[in-house]
Structures are given as structure tokens and as C-alpha cells.
């Protein structure tokens, strides 16, 4: 089975110049060769090599193996559509193979440039770091994003039966008004649950008052006590059903797309001031804990990872531009960025941030775009649970 890993490169300023130079030169060479191939109507790599190898070497001063890659790429692209002459952007992804690149441990890769080899540091997520030795890298592409970040996309062969890591994450924001809001824009309303809670609360108060009156009359309000207990059980059952239902939908939404699920790390939840005080008081902690637990175990059953992200500022940061300000959140429901003007539902913005944070350093990406370097760390919920159970015994 083949996977594409995305390694975030951390080139120095000097290395960036070298990488950009070789990338531009390579694409320039590809454009030149494409024009020759198109003029000759030739899609055969070996013929092109025979005709243009030396010219490519002298015109563009590319290392020999890069010329070979240039020939293969132009022939391959041209073969796909013979009616047009292929063109390549100056910053188009550049192929690297084993002869012009080499991994040096788990944090550096040596890449051939016009000035010789450069040793560039890279980041890899914990999941793939542990398994990287077992992967057999096949083919790599050097990629620069519009925001100037460099990546190496590495196609690796992994043994069959390896659990497939996610290509993306479904960010899930848990709240009061909306029990769960996801980064794909789905809202699972807590309206029914909240109405139920209020109804039961009113009923409970009435019962308590009746019990009090009965006690004053010197009676033992046994029936009322029993009714109170029954009410509490019924409410718990209703919440449990709701939580089952929502968690099932969340996991199904992620599974359907091959995504993992990203949640806020529970250990931070007490320190955040996301909710106004009255709300915090009425919201019951166990109901939330239960929803999280249901999501985690249903995800585990479905074989998809749950990552926990640092929740700091998820509700205050703009998911469009990253600007963090308290004023970005003018009301419980609304998000309005003071810097870029992006306006959306507050919970949806938070879910977007949760997803972005999970994607940062998320090792595996197919066609990554728009991932924002907002977050700090993240970890798999299962790793955390394991750690937790290990340390608590």
C-alpha cells in the first residue's frame, strides 16, 4: 500500500535560496524540453534523452540525475495529452529520487541543488516518526507553498494491513448551545437536550418543594423521593441517547472521508473561559465527558484516530488569518475578525481552528492546502489514554 507523507522542511535562509534556485532552473529546463518534444511530437523518454541530454546539461547546468528526472517528467506529462505543449510554473513541484536525495536520520534530508548538497531539517509527526524506518521511500517531490513554506512529499510503501492514518481531520467543537459543531459545517444542536434539562429541572424543583411541604406537615415524603430519583434516571438516559446519537454521526462523518477526529484536550478544559459563568454552572460536566468518551471509543472501534489539540484561543483566533483577539468574539454566537473581517458562526470558527491544529504536523496529507500553523502540539487520544493508565497504576 502506498501513502504520501508530508514532511515540513525547515530550510535556513541560505538553503531557501538554493532550493528556490534549483527548482526554478529545473522547471525552466522542463519548459525548454517540452517545447522541443512538442515540436518533434516525441513522447518517448529514451529518444528525448538521446536527442537532448547533452544540450540540457550544457544549457541549464543541471546535475545528471536531475536531467534524467526532467526527461521523465516531460515525457510523462506530454504523453498524457499530446494536443498541448506542457508548461511548468517556475515553482512547480520538483521530483527528487534516491540518487539526488538521502534521509539523514529522522530529522534531516540531504537534497542536491545547483550548489551541491544541502542538509535540510524537517518535521515529522509522532505517528510516522515511530514507523519511518519500516517505510520504503519511493518517490519524492519538493514543494513550496504560496506562503513560502517548503515541504517534501514522500511516497512510501507500507506493509498491507497497516492501519491507514488519516489524510485530514474533522475538527469538533463541543459547546452548550450547539453540542457539537464540526469543521465541515455540521451542527448537532443541543436544543433538545437543553429543553429536556430545563423541563426536568422545573419538575425536580416542584417535587423538592412538595417534599419540603410534606416534611413540614410531619409526613415522610417517600413517593416524592422516589419520583425525584426516577426523574434523574430518565434525564440521564435521555442524555445518554443523545450522546450516542451525536457521537455516532460524528464518527460516521469522519470515517466516510477517511479522516481522523480532532478534539480539544480535556485537561485544559477547566482553565478556559469559553463559557459565561451562568452557562458553566448549568452545563453538566459528566454529559460532556460522556460525549467525548463515546466519540473516542466509537472512533477506536471504527479504526480512526482521535487527536487532542491544545485548546488555547480556539475561540478567539481567526481561522482565516490567525489573528487572536478577545474582540473577535463579540457575542456567544458570532465570530468577527478584527483584522481581516472574516465573519462566521463562533463554533464553526473554533471547529476550523481545531482542525487546523490537528493538521499542523499531521504527518500524512494528500494535497494539503490551507493548513495553518496555529497550533502547538497534538497527540493521539489513544496514546494519551495509554499514558494515563500507565501513570495511574
Cα 86 off chain centre by: 33
CB of 154 to Zn ion, least distance (A): 33
CB of 328 to Zn ion, least distance (A): 7
The two counts, helices (H) then strands (E), for the chain are 10, 15
Nearer to Zn ion, 232 or 325 (CB): 325
Residue spans of beta strands (DSSP E) within 280-349: 306-309, 334-336, 343-345
CB of 313 to Zn ion, least distance (A): 13
Task: Record the cell numbers describing residue 223, joined without a space.
Answer: 413517593
Q: CA separation (Å) from 201 to 187, 204, 207, 338? A: 25, 5, 10, 40
Question: In whole angstroms, what is the distance from residue 365 CA to residue 382 CA?
Answer: 21
The residues of the shown chain that bind Zn ion, judged by CB under 5 A, are 318, 320-321, 323, 337, 339-340, 342
CB of 336 to Zn ion, least distance (A): 9
Nearer to Zn ion, 121 or 324 (CB): 324
CB of 340 to Zn ion, least distance (A): 3
Would you say 77 and 34 are in contact if contact means Cβ atoms under 8 Å apart?
yes
Considering only CA atoms, which of 254, 248, 247 is closest in space to residue 305?
254
CB of 356 to Zn ion, least distance (A): 13
CB of 305 to Zn ion, least distance (A): 29
Residue spans of beta strands (DSSP E) within 265-383: 306-309, 334-336, 343-345, 378-380
- Three-state SS for 175-197 is CCCEEEEECCCCEEECHHHHHHH
Nearer to Zn ion, 298 or 312 (CB): 312
Strand, helix or coil for residue 101 = strand
Nearer to Zn ion, 113 or 328 (CB): 328
Nearer to Zn ion, 275 or 342 (CB): 342
CB of 321 to Zn ion, least distance (A): 3
Nearer to Zn ion, 88 or 335 (CB): 335
Strand, helix or coil for residue 8 = strand
Question: In whole angstroms, what is the distance from residue 273 CA to residue 311 CA?
Answer: 11
Would you say 105 and 120 are in contact if contact means Cβ atoms under 8 Å apart?
no
Question: In whole angstroms, what is the distance from residue 287 CA to residue 243 CA?
Answer: 8
CB of 353 to Zn ion, least distance (A): 11
Nearer to Zn ion, 163 or 341 (CB): 341
Nearer to Zn ion, 128 or 355 (CB): 355
Nearer to Zn ion, 53 or 342 (CB): 342
Question: In whole angstroms, what is the distance from residue 95 CA to residue 77 CA?
Answer: 13
Q: CA separation (Å) from 222 to 165, 201, 233? A: 56, 20, 17
Task: Record the cell numbers describing residue 58, joined without a space.
Answer: 550544457
Amino acid at each position: 500500500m502506498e501513502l504520501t507523507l508530508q514532511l515540513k522542511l525547515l530550510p535556513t535562509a541560505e538553503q531557501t535560496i538554493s532550493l528556490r534556485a534549483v527548482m526554478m532552473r529545473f522547471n525552466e529546463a522542463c519548459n525548454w524540453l517540452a517545447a522541443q518534444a512538442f515540436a518533434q511530437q516525441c513522447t518517448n523518454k529514451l529518444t528525448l534523452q538521446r536527442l537532448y541530454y547533452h544540450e540540457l546539461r550544457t544549457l541549464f547546468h543541471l546535475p545528471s540525475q536531475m536531467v534524467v528526472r526532467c526527461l521523465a517528467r516531460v515525457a510523462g506529462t506530454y504523453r498524457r495529452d499530446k494536443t498541448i505543449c506542457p508548461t511548468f510554473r517556475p515553482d512547480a513541484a520538483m521530483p527528487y529520487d534516491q540518487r539526488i536525495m538521502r534521509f539523514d536520520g529522522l530529522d534531516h534530508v540531504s537534497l542536491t541543488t545547483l550548489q551541491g548538497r544541502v542538509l535540510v531539517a524537517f518535521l515529522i509527526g509522532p505517528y510516522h516518526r515511530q514507523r519511518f524506518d519500516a517505510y520504503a521511500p519511493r518517490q519524492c517531490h519538493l514543494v513550496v507553498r504560496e506562503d513560502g513554506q517548503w515541504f517534501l512529499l514522500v511516497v512510501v510503501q507500507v506493509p498491507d494491513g497497516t492501519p491507514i492514518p488519516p489524510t485530514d481531520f474533522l475538527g469538533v467543537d463541543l459547546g452548550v448551545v450547539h453540542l457539537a459543531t464540526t469543521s465541515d459545517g455540521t451542527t448537532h444542536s443541543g436544543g433538545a437536550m437543553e429543553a429536556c434539562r430545563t423541563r426536568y429541572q422545573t419538575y425536580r424543583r416542584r417535587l423538592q418543594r412538595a417534599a419540603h411541604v410534606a416534611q413540614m406537615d410531619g409526613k415522610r415524603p417517600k413517593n416524592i423521593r422516589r419520583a425525584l430519583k426516577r426523574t434523574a434516571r430518565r434525564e440521564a438516559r435521555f442524555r445518554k441517547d443523545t450522546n450516542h446519537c451525536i457521537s455516532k454521526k460524528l464518527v460516521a462523518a469522519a470515517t466516510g472521508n477517511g479522516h481522523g477526529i480532532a478534539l480539544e484536550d480535556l485537561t485544559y478544559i477547566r482553565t478556559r473561559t469559553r463559557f459565561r459563568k451562568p452557562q458553566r454552572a448549568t452545563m453538566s460536566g459528566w454529559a460532556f465527558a460522556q460525549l467525548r468518551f463515546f466519540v473516542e471509543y466509537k472512533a477506536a472501534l471504527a479504526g480512526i484516530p482521535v487527536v487532542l489539540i491544545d485548546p488555547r484561543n480556539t475561540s478567539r483566533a481567526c481561522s482565516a488569518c490567525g489573528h487572536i483577539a478577545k474582540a473577535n468574539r463579540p457575542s456567544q454566537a458570532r465570530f468577527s475578525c478584527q483584522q481581516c473581517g472574516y465573519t462566521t458562526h463562533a463554533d464553526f470558527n473554533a471547529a476550523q481552528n481545531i482542525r487546523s491544529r490537528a493538521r499542523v504536523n499531521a504527518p500524512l496529507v494528500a494535497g494539503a492546502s490551507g493548513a495553518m500553523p496555529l497550533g502547538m502540539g497534538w497527540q493521539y487520544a489513544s496514546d494519551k489514554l495509554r499514558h494515563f493508565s500507565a501513570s495511574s497504576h
